[in-house]
Amino acid sequence: MKKPYTIIGFILLFSIVLNAQNHYFGIKVGYTKSMPASPDNQINFVGNDIEISQDMKRFKGLDGFQIGLYSHIDIGNDFLHLDIAPQYSKYGFQDNKDFKYDYFDIDVGVSNLNSEVASKFVVGIGVTPSFVLYSKQIENLNNFDLKVYLIFGYRFYKDFVFYSQLKYGTLEIIPDSKITNLQFSLNLNIPILKIKK
């Protein structure tokens, strides 16, 4: 059932790309800190660590990374571009042992990361369909997640942008557990190619 929708989605995105005026392509690299979250969680900052308290049980967020490609596509607005960024992301948390799960993420949203309007500060919103590539210690893992995200950043040199991204998973990591994924990342966008029509 998912395959026809995926094909239709790629056809729509491809047609947008063909008709866009400006294309920006590059590499996205980032450091991630992720942990589980549920409605009654409390988030605690302990030194450099982030911990979650859930029913008196504590989970420590594990360090991770993400790497991928990005494209920013002109949609006829001088301030906003359509962002598409497929990437490999490593997540995890720690209980009495490490729980790790790796995703293929696709960020799809809007931002002024490569705006025609000169701005040092960057903002954006979007959604991230995520597909599990690998999981360790979690047997009954939901193989798909849909996250929403916010980004805030700073353009420090030409089209190089350093930004933070906060993602919140809307689906449960483990079915019927009410535990969702919360991820914070620090990222660098490195431009490679700009195409103008």
Higher-pLDDT residue of 110 and 1 is 110
When divided into structural domains, the chain yields a total of: 1
Confidence of residue 76 (pLDDT cuts 50, 70, 90): confident
For residue range 13-66, list pLDDT tens digits in order.
555 554 545 678 889 999 998 877 766 666 666 666 656 666 545 667 778 899
Ramachandran area for residue 127 (φ above 0: left; ψ -120 to 50: alpha; else beta):
beta
Predicted model pTM? 0.76
CATH number at residue 126: 2.40.160.20
Q: What is the chain's Cα-based Rg? A: 18
Amino acid type, 153: G
For residue range 141-154, list pLDDT tens digits in order.
788 889 999 999 99
Read off the tokens for 72. Answer: 């920013």
Confidence of residue 103 (pLDDT cuts 50, 70, 90): confident
Read off the tokens for 159. Answer: 């089209």
Which of 19-23, 59-63, 67-71, 85-89 shows the lowest mean pLDDT across its residues? 19-23
Dihedral pair phi/psi, residue 184, rounded to 5°: -120, 135
Is-contact 33 61, C-beta < 8 A?
A: yes
pLDDT score of 8 more than 80: no
Determine what percent of the chain is predicted with pLDDT higher than 70: 69
Measured CA to CA, the distance from residue 37 to residue 35 in angstroms comes to: 7
Distances in Å between the alpha carbon of 149 and those of 11, 88, 99, 107, 132? 24, 16, 23, 9, 18
Dihedral pair phi/psi, residue 59, rounded to 5°: -120, 130
